[in-house]
Amino acid sequence: MVPFLIVAAIVIVTVIIENSRLTVSKYRVTCRSLPREFRGFRILQLSDLHGRRFGKDHEKLLDKIRPLHPDIIFITGDLIDRKERRANQKIELVKKLLKIAPVYISLGNHEVDSRSKAQPVLDEMARMGAHVLINGKERLYRGYSEIDIYGLALPSYFYRNDDGSYDNLPPVTRAEVEELCGKNDENVFSILLAHSPIPFEEYEKWGADLIFSGHMHGGIIRIPFTEKGLLSPERVFFPQFTYGIYRKFGAYMIVSRGLGKFRLFNPAEIVLVSLK
């Protein structure tokens, strides 16, 4: 009985520590088609905050972000949880992020599922100056160069069925990405904020040069001494994309482990990408 209690205590302490840690992952991505003026551009990505809070008014999170001096901040979905009762407190977080750098927000499955709750909050964020991209595009200028930033909001049926199951979900195709976001301008370097990383190949076919995704929560539980995550939100074991950098022909995809939800050997993550 005593050994069991010791093991149980170790597991509980490990879970508490893992779910309180906040890490920063730094990447350098070399894109041949990147315009000259955007070399050295620093992109900070936040994803999948859900109902999680990092200290009072998220000051622990903000204290991690400020010294990183990003040029831009991307929030790639599930900032607002469908079950969240205090969604308005996310407005204050975005207000403080806007004092650090311009903020671009795309939708995840939770915002899509709960649009009546999420939309008034997103509207207020837009009024404050955040760029809320719902199947839309904005062009960003730096010197004489320009890049396009797209925000993809996939319909709910790509994430789960009406009965809450995950069997036989339809695949996302290039044509559907084009129908939602419009035709990609192949003459302009394009960044796609797309919550789910699963259709990476279709994003690349559509024309994205660089994709920022989340959704997978790092696989929830990371398998120690491996690069594998255990489970996806679609209840698929050992999913292909869980976190880090992936490459498909000329496109790169950054997948964040995210900030919220239960996790083990998989601390919450802020992502900082420097473009080359």
Domain boundaries, the chain: 22-275
**What is residue 3's predicted lDDT score, i.e. its pLDDT?**
58
- Give the closest residue to 27 by CA, choosing from 13, 38, 43: 43
**What is residue 18's predicted lDDT score, i.e. its pLDDT?**
58
**What is residue 6's predicted lDDT score, i.e. its pLDDT?**
54
At 60 the three-state DSSP class reads helix
**What is residue 243's predicted lDDT score, i.e. its pLDDT?**
95
Which helix (H) or strand (E) segment holds residue 151: the answer is: strand 145-152
Q: Running DSSP on this structure, what letter comes out for residue 168?
A: T
Say how many CA atoms lie within 13 Å of 142 toward its Cβ.
15
Query: Is residue 60 within 8 Å of 39, Cβ to Cβ?
Result: no
Contacts of 79 (CB under 8 A, 6+ apart): 46, 49, 90, 105, 108, 111
Give strand ranges (E) for 170-248: 189-194, 210-213, 244-248
CA dist 42 and 30 (Å) reads 13
Query: Beta partners for 45?
Result: 74, 271
Q: Residue 44 CB: number of other CB atoms within 10 A?
A: 23
Q: What is the reported pTM?
A: 0.94
**What is residue 7's predicted lDDT score, i.e. its pLDDT?**
44
Q: Span 22-275: which CATH code?
A: 3.60.21.10
Cα–Cα separations (whole angstroms), residue 75 to 3, 33, 36, 165: 44, 24, 25, 27
List the chain residues with pLDDT less than 70. Answer: 1-19
CA dist 183 and 135 (Å) reads 11
* Helix ranges restricted to H, 129-272: 174-181, 200-206
Query: Is residue 65 within 8 Å of 93, Cβ to Cβ?
Result: no
**What is residue 16's predicted lDDT score, i.e. its pLDDT?**
61
50: left (phi over 0), alpha (psi -120 to 50) or beta: left
CA dist 157 and 168 (Å) reads 10
Burial of 237 (0-12, 13-18, 19+ CB in 10 A): exposed
**What is residue 19's predicted lDDT score, i.e. its pLDDT?**
62
